[in-house]
Structure 1
Amino acid sequence: MPLHPEIARILAAMPAPPPGPLDPVALRAADEAQVAPPEERLPLHAVEDTTVRTASGEVPVRIYTPAEADAYGLLVYFHGGAFFLGSLETHDHVARSLAKETGLKVVSVGYRLAPEAAFPAGLDDCHAVVRWAAGERAGLAWDGTTLAVAGDSSGGNFAAAVAAKAHDDGFDRITHQILYYPSLDLDFDADRHASLRENAVGYGLETAGLKPFNAFYLDSGADPADPLVSPVKRADLTGLPPALVVTGQYDPMRDEGELYGERLRAAGVEATVSRYEGAGHGFVQHFSWIPEYHKVFEETRDFLGRR
């Protein structure tokens, strides 16, 4: 199907990006300016900001409790933003929808960003918060069942990398990995995946923009050949948690996500790959108010409920 008409209308009205090098400070400010005021956000039983003390420092987190209960399944969420954008605020609406639809307590992670924090600072923050969430001292009333990791775009990269790192470390409590249009291959050769050519121009995120947007992360020491940087390059995927991989029809990064799902299945891992027609990159963050795309939260709920 063609690009969804509402997405096409909004993209057509967007101004061209300013010329010259990317300014992370200005781009972050522009992102934050789009955040809805607190009174317009989806209400939940409780939303609490706190700090997790880890071996590498303090990590801000926001905890979303959908309803009052004695114990909860947990979902630890990593926001997207090409490793240098995004925050607890810019993705607050995503975390709220995840909590409401899944019934899980959601922990959103305010990990350190490039270029100010060199690789693997952000990944280490995400991994440390997952380990913290499973501990009794976290005070999250985890019921010992579901412990999912989830993320969109670069956050999906972190979710896959955390699941792999935890597996290698012998930490086997992660039960699911949920990847929304994940950035899993940071080698940006345009011939590497067909979707990089097919969806190169006109759908919001463009193939030519991938390298400069991810340069802050790569220049900080992240090697695209490292499976913790490009999780699709991991040689052995056996033993990883079941995965839901969500992609968009018109996303340049569509094929790397779908390839990861195929490789997981070939390794004996339960993996569901779900392509959303008419959608480009970022639709969970930017267009989940459209009913067809809000269903991604229901699909997430159903995926979590199958185990």
Structure 2
Amino acid sequence: MPLHPEIARFLTGLPTPPGGPLDPVAMRAADEAHVAPLDERLPLHAVQDTTAKTPAGDVPVRIYTPAEADGFGVLVYFHGGAFFLGSMETHDHVARSLAKETGLKVVSVGYRLAPEAAFPAGLDDCHAVVRWVAEQGESLAWDGTTLAVAGDSSGGAFAAAVAARAHDEGFDRITHQILYYPSLDLDFDADRYASLRENAEGYGLETAGLKPFNAFYLDSGADPADPLVSPLKRADLTGLPPALVVTAQYDPLRDEGEFYGLRLAEAGVEAKVSRYEGAGHGFVQHFSWLPEYRRVFAETRDFLTRGK
């Protein structure tokens, strides 16, 4: 199907990007300027900012409690932003929707960003918070059942890497990984995946922009050949948690996400790949107010609760 008309209208109205090197500080400020006021956000039973004290250091987290209850499953959420953009604020609405729809307590992670924090600082923060949730389960009212990791775009890369790293360390408490249009292969050779050519221009995220946007992360020491940077490089995917991989029809990263889902299934891991037609990269963050894409949260809920 064609690009959704609301997305097409939005892209038409975008200003021409300024020339010259990317300015992380200015780009972050621009993102924060679009955050909705608190009184316009989806209400929940409780939203609390706190600090997770971990071996990686003190990590800011925001805890979303959907309702009053004695115990909850927990979903740990890593925001996207090419490893140098995004925050708990810019993705607050995503975390709220996840909590509301799934009924899980959501822990959003304010991990360190490139280029100020070199690899693997951000990944270490995400990994440490998942371990912290398990260790602090009683104080978080974790019921000891669901412990999912989820992320969009670069946050999806972190979710996949955290699941793999935990498996390698013998930490078996992660029950699900949920990857929204994940960035799983930071080798941006356009011949690697058809979607890098088919969706190269005109859909928001452009193939030519992948290298400069991810350069802050790669220049900080992240090696695209490292499976903790590019989870698709991992040779053995057996034993990883069940995965929901959400992709978008008009996303340059579409095929690497779908290939990861296929490789997981071939390794005996339960994996569901769900392509959203008419959508481009970033639709969960920017267009989940549209009914066609709002269902991504219900699909996430159904994946997390299947068999229960």
Is the TM value for this pair above 0.5? yes
Q: Distance in 2 between matches of 1:168 and 1:133?
A: 18
Matched, 1:46 2:53: no
Change (3 A) 1:138 1:158: farther
- In structure 2, what is the equivalent of residue 149 of structure 1? 149
Equivalent pair of 2:137/2:144 in contact (CA under 8 Å): no
- In structure 2, what is the equivalent of residue 177 of structure 1? 177
- In structure 2, what is the equivalent of residue 240 of structure 1? 240
Q: Distance in 1 between matches of 2:156 and 2:204?
A: 19
Q: Distance in 2 between matches of 1:116 and 1:192?
A: 30
SS in 2 for 1:15: coil
How many correspondences in the alignment?
307
- The CA deviation string for residues 52-72 of structure 1, in whole angstroms up to 9 with x for no partner, is 111221100000000000010
SS in 1 for 2:150: strand
Q: Distance in 2 between matches of 1:150 and 1:56?
A: 20
Q: Distance in 2 between matches of 1:177 and 1:73?
A: 14
| Amino acid in the other structure paired with 2:288 | S
Q: Tell which deviates more after alignment, 138-147 or 283-292.
A: 138-147
- In structure 2, what is the equivalent of residue 69 of structure 1? 69
Equivalent pair of 1:80/1:152 in contact (CA under 8 Å): yes
Output aligned runs, 1:225-264, within 5 Å: 225-264=225-264
| Amino acid in the other structure paired with 1:223 | D
Output aligned runs, 1:197-212, within 5 Å: 197-212=197-212
**Cα deviation, residue 138, structure 1:** 6.4
Change (3 A) 1:19 1:138: farther
Moved over 6 A (4+): none
SS in 2 for 1:239: coil
- In structure 2, what is the equivalent of residue 131 of structure 1? 131
| Amino acid in the other structure paired with 1:4 | H
| Amino acid in the other structure paired with 2:119 | F
Equivalent pair of 1:248/1:278 in contact (CA under 8 Å): yes
- In structure 2, what is the equivalent of residue 115 of structure 1? 115
| Amino acid in the other structure paired with 1:191 | D
Q: Distance in 2 between matches of 1:36 and 1:141?
A: 29
Q: Over aligned residues, Cα RMSD in angstroms?
A: 0.7
SS in 1 for 2:50: strand
Output aligned runs, 1:160-171, within 5 Å: 160-171=160-171
- The CA deviation string for residues 145-200 of structure 1, in whole angstroms up to 9 with x for no partner, is 10000000000000000000000000000000000000000000010100000000
- The CA deviation string for residues 27-61 of structure 1, in whole angstroms up to 9 with x for no partner, is 00000000000000000000000001112211000
Q: Distance in 2 between matches of 1:272 and 1:35?
A: 31
Matched, 1:194 2:189: no
Give the fraction of aligned pairs with identical amino acids, expressed as a percent: 85
Output aligned runs, 1:286-297, within 5 Å: 286-297=286-297
- In structure 2, what is the equivalent of residue 267 of structure 1? 267
Equivalent pair of 2:137/2:143 in contact (CA under 8 Å): no
- In structure 2, what is the equivalent of residue 78 of structure 1? 78
**Cα deviation, residue 137, structure 1:** 6.1
- The CA deviation string for residues 2-48 of structure 1, in whole angstroms up to 9 with x for no partner, is 00000000100010110001000000000000000000000000000
Q: Tell which deviates more after alignment, 127-136 or 265-274.
A: 127-136
Matched, 1:57 2:57: yes
- In structure 1, what is the equivalent of residue 21 of structure 2? 21
Change (3 A) 1:121 1:138: farther
- In structure 1, what is the equivalent of residue 298 of structure 2? 298
**Cα deviation, residue 136, structure 1:** 3.4
SS in 2 for 1:59: strand
SS in 2 for 1:134: helix
Equivalent pair of 1:203/1:280 in contact (CA under 8 Å): yes
| Amino acid in the other structure paired with 1:84 | F
| Amino acid in the other structure paired with 1:18 | P
Equivalent pair of 1:132/1:138 in contact (CA under 8 Å): no
Q: Distance in 1 between matches of 2:43 and 2:298?
A: 18
SS in 1 for 2:196: helix
Q: Distance in 1 between matches of 2:83 and 2:137?
A: 29
**Cα deviation, residue 286, structure 1:** 0.4
Equivalent pair of 2:185/2:232 in contact (CA under 8 Å): yes
Q: Distance in 1 between matches of 2:143 and 2:57?
A: 27
- In structure 1, what is the equivalent of residue 94 of structure 2? 94
Q: Distance in 1 between matches of 2:267 and 2:139?
A: 36
Q: Distance in 1 between matches of 2:257 and 2:226?
A: 17
Equivalent pair of 1:238/1:269 in contact (CA under 8 Å): yes
Equivalent pair of 1:258/1:273 in contact (CA under 8 Å): yes
- The unaligned stretches of length 5 or more in structure 2 are none
